[in-house]
Amino acid sequence: MGGYHGRYLRIDLGTVSESWIPLPESVLRRFLGGVGLGVWLLNRECSAGVDPLAPEAALVFCFSPLVGTPLTTSAKFAVVAKSPLTFRLNDALSSSHFALAGKRTGADALVIVGACAKPSLLVIEDGAIRIESAGDIWGQTSDVATARLQERFGAEYHSAVIGPAGENCVRFATISHANRHAGRGGLGAVMGSKRLKAIVVRGSQRVPVADPAGVVASARDLSQRSFGPATAKYRELGTVANLLTFNRLHALPTRNFQQGQFDEAQQISGESLNEARRVARNSCAACTIGCEHIYALPPHPQPLSPEAGERGEGVRLEYESLFALGPLCGIADRDVVLRAARLCDRLGMDTISVGATIAFAMECAERGLLHEDSLRFGNGDMLLSLLPRIARREAGLGDLLAEGSRRAAAKIGGDAADFAPHVKGLELPGYEPRALQTMALGFAVGSRGADHNRSGAYEVDFSPRADRLHGSPDAAALAVDTEDRAALIDSLILCKFLRGVFADLYAESAEMLRRVTGWDVTDEELRTVARRIVTAKKLYNQREGWNADEDTLPKRFLSEGLPVGGSVEATLPRERLSAMIAAYYVARGWDAAGRVPAAIVAELDLHDLRTDG
């Protein structure tokens, strides 16, 4: 079997001990790696009902059979845990050299339990572990900590670190590596609760592939196609190109989802940023696309915090950060948005969740539910001052917003919960659900909450197959297909920016896996693998207390119309969403309450997943 070590490394920080646990080939073939293998491991390693921030909670880093091959975009890893933000399954992906070095330690996955007695580093070197003090970098921003670790250990070592937000268990804290982030759901808080500042890895154990010449041929072909028109947008402008398109379609969330258009969108558009601020374009490790666009950060005359890093640095900016720190908060100053994005990167906070939570607080203040005079839409200085307060959990507003919009709404009271922008506790990304109603379905049923990466249902809305302003149960099967495709890509692991490159994702993935592993895998088998992984996520959530009432959207989206031009409003009545959800359950083979029946468990060979404590 090529592509795998066939084992994972389980580390107990409390006892400073490790154990190597075999991974049967049957498990690897059923779940592949990345998110799929991570879900299986979390189910096995984490008891039902555990608090995500308790020492016994498991934090799982998973690699994949493609990591270490020349296949473009394959230098990725998945992080899986129970989310402290949602108390449901959470998985996040990140890229670059940590994946390559992590797999060379000799493990297909790392499972971390327990907690250190004091702020520490976990060093894994060719499978041997040791704990070192992190006292000199505890409290430092993620970029400073990374630089000091590089100086301390050398270029062959690569680290995954948390910033101050992770240390303070902010519920949407990230894990960072080389300015890339496992961003959603608070995985950095899980790491911080274990008093673990960084995981440092180095290894020399490479894994052979079954057909080296075939893998090289696949890599050449995929790399060549990755330069084509399907990825041109990412190379030329990056995801920030979405902003003006979404604005034109009334799908750009503005002022906490009160509108779908932002009058000042042109001022902060990708086109405007590229003309005025872009200084470079970079790539992740083992990537031929080069989607990372770097913008100049102008020095601020009066830095607002010691974490601001106002040194004329470059900032990597994606659409989700641009929307969440710009239009969602009513801010049209591109320099404020760039500074805010850089602050979030350094402090280690998910830009979507922090931007959405601040936008929610701004609306609460304007409605008189919060008494903060300067907390208003469009106040860039307030946004910039709030970010470090949240990361440090400063008493008052900082600590309140560090809990995320769902918990903040519960504490604020009144009708705040009606417009808190989350599903299952995870804040909505930059897709207005009333203007993209198949995506609204994807948000409602998402296993980790409101999610544009685990459901690509917006692709259906942008196609002739659906009426994006009038959602239909007929689109449910199409939404299911986007989820399945995402599950396969996230478990292989490849970048989703390649999805348009494949003529047949399942057949071409099967060919790559045959050449890497030697398995006689088929496209139909991979279709079943994808269904299995999505269903395994649902089974985990069921075990943790999920019920069908969670598969919904905030009241605002189901009761308020969205202006979409002239006197026309887009509406999403509760009955329409309910019908779409019911059709989704049918398409998945689940029962009317959205639960996975025993027949599907048997059909998908999920017998070894724990469904109780």
* 265 lies in some domain: yes
Mean pLDDT of the chain: 95
- Residue 162 sits in the same domain as residue 302: no
Q: Give the residue-averaged pLDDT of 339-363.
A: 98
**pLDDT score of 298:** 76
- At 142-187, the pLDDT tens digits run 999 999 999 999 999 999 999 999 999 999 999 999 888 999 999 9
**563 membership: H or E segment, kind and range:** strand 562-563
pLDDT of 308 over the 80 cut: no
* 219 lies in some domain: no
What string of DSSP letters covers 449-476?
SS-SSS--THHHHTSTTS-TTS--GGGH
- Residue 248 sits in the same domain as residue 337: yes
- Residue 490 sits in the same domain as residue 548: yes
What string of DSSP letters covers 109-131?
EEEEES--SSSEEEEEETTEEEE
What is the rounded end-to-end Cα distance, in angstroms, of the chain? 33
**pLDDT score of 282:** 81
d(CA 126, CA 156): 12
Whole-Å CA distances, 381 to 181, 207, 239, 255, 295: 25, 51, 26, 16, 20
* 216 lies in some domain: no
d(CA 424, CA 467): 26
- Residue 195 sits in the same domain as residue 234: no
| Torsions phi, psi for 400 (to 5 deg) | -60, -50
* 209 lies in some domain: no
Our count of domains for the chain comes to 3
Q: Give the residue-averaged pLDDT of 291-311.
A: 68
Domain final residue, candidates 167, 202, 237: 202
Domain range for 277 is 228-427
Domain final residue, candidates 427, 462, 491: 427
Which residue(s) pair with 314 in the sheet? Answer: 296
Give the lowest-confidence range in 58-62, 263-267, 562-566.
562-566
- Residue 389 sits in the same domain as residue 469: no
- Residue 348 sits in the same domain as residue 445: no
**pLDDT score of 502:** 93
**pLDDT score of 309:** 53
- Residue 183 sits in the same domain as residue 245: no
Tokens read off for 503: 């003529």
* 210 lies in some domain: no
CATH number of the domain where residue 488 is located: 1.10.599.10
* 271 lies in some domain: yes
d(CA 175, CA 162): 5
Scanning 79-225, the segments in alpha helix (DSSP H) are 97-103, 142-153, 164-167, 187-193, 212-225
- Residue 197 sits in the same domain as residue 336: no
CATH number of the domain where residue 244 is located: 1.10.569.10
d(CA 68, CA 72): 10
CATH number of the domain where residue 185 is located: 3.60.9.10
> Could you tell me which residue, 610 or 196, shows the higher pLDDT?
196
Give the lowest-confidence range in 14-28, 225-239, 250-264.
225-239
Q: Give the residue-averaged pLDDT of 547-575.
A: 96
How sure is the predictor about 301, in pLDDT bands with cuts at 50, 70 and 90? low
Q: In terms of DSSP bridges, do strands 109-113 and 7-12 run parallel, antiparallel, or are they unpaired?
A: parallel
- Residue 447 sits in the same domain as residue 314: no
- At 93-142, the pLDDT tens digits run 998 899 999 999 999 999 999 999 999 999 999 999 999 999 999 999 99
Output the pTM of the full model.
0.96
* 447 lies in some domain: yes
In the chain, the percentage of residues whose pLDDT exceeds 90 is 88
Whole-Å CA distances, 191 to 173, 187, 194, 223: 9, 6, 5, 35
Domain final residue, candidates 202, 237, 257: 202
Q: Are 279 and 295 in contact (CB under 8 A)?
A: yes
How sure is the predictor about 300, in pLDDT bands with cuts at 50, 70 and 90? low
**pLDDT score of 305:** 59
- Residue 182 sits in the same domain as residue 294: no
How sure is the predictor about 306, in pLDDT bands with cuts at 50, 70 and 90? low
Closest by CA to 66, choosing from 91, 24, 23, 37, is: 37
Number of helices and strands (H, E) in the chain? 24, 19
* 515 lies in some domain: yes
- At 37-48, the pLDDT tens digits run 999 999 999 999
**pLDDT score of 303:** 55
Which residue(s) pair with 327 in the sheet? Answer: none
pLDDT of 258 over the 70 cut: yes
pLDDT of 613 over the 60 cut: no
Q: Give the residue-averaged pLDDT of 422-450.
A: 98
- Residue 152 sits in the same domain as residue 268: no
- Residue 347 sits in the same domain as residue 261: yes
